Structure 1
């Protein structure tokens, strides 16, 4: 068994696009509101084709899931936190973490703690993406 982060977004298409272009998301799989399995749903439950019923994607090899909020209602994701931990002595993992963090900041994510050494980690940093999710980098 494992745990997987599941996000709800007001507009997951925008989030998926941002994650793909700026955070390196890959293997994006999406089931939209126009999927044939929803064709016979009662009219009050019909959604448009841009509505995401469910999607998955990978960032740094980890899988995440998301969907849109019902009727695209606003949502506050400020409590959603993702932490990538890595072996500080593994140069490949360390460089992936540094590159991920720097790319996010260049893309306009808000740096809430600069990437650097702390009392608890040789390399730690935090940023918030435009969708309210906090991402952390933490060396073990």
Structure 2
């Protein structure tokens, strides 16, 4: 068994595009309101054909899920935190963490703690994405 982070976004399609371009998201799969499986939904539950009913994606090999908020209502994702931990002695993992962090910052994410040594970690950094999610990298 494992836990998987599930996000709700006002516009999941925009988040998925951003994550693909700036956080390196892969294996993006998106089921929309226009999918055949929803054709017989009661009228009160029907949504726009481009509405994200459910989506999945991977970042740094980890799986995540998301969907649009009902009727695309605004949502405050502050407090949603994802932490990638890695073995600091594994140079490939450390390079991947640094590349992930740097690409996110280049894409417009806001650095809340620069990548570097802290009292609790030899290599740690934190940033917020435009959708309110906080992302951290942390060496163990």
For the aligned pair, the TM-score class normalised by the smaller chain equals: over 0.9
Instruction: Indicate the residue corresponding to 1:67 in structure 2.
Output: 67
Deviation at 1:29, TM superposition (A): 0.7
For residues 26-77 of structure 1, give each alpha carbon's deviation from its aligned partner in whole angstroms, at most 9, with x where no partner exists: 0001110000110011111111121000000000000000000000000000
Unaligned runs of 5+ in 1: none
In the comparison of the two structures, how many residue pairs are matched? 140
Secondary structure of the 1:3 match is coil
Secondary structure of the 1:31 match is strand
Runs of 4+ with >4 A deviation? none
Instruction: Indicate the residue corresponding to 2:28 in structure 1.
Output: 28
Instruction: Indicate the residue corresponding to 1:101 in structure 2.
Output: 101
Secondary structure of the 1:97 match is helix
Deviation at 1:13, TM superposition (A): 0.1
CA distance in 1 between partners of 2:29 and 2:52 (Å): 10
Instruction: Indicate the residue corresponding to 1:2 in structure 2.
Output: 2
TM-score by length of 2: 0.99
Instruction: Indicate the residue corresponding to 2:44 in structure 1.
Output: 44
CA distance in 2 between partners of 1:57 and 1:49 (Å): 20
Indicate the RMSD between aligned Cα atoms, in angstroms. 0.4
Instruction: Indicate the residue corresponding to 2:127 in structure 1.
Output: 127
1:54 aligns with 2:54: yes
Question: Is the deviation greater in 61-70 or in 42-51?
Answer: 42-51
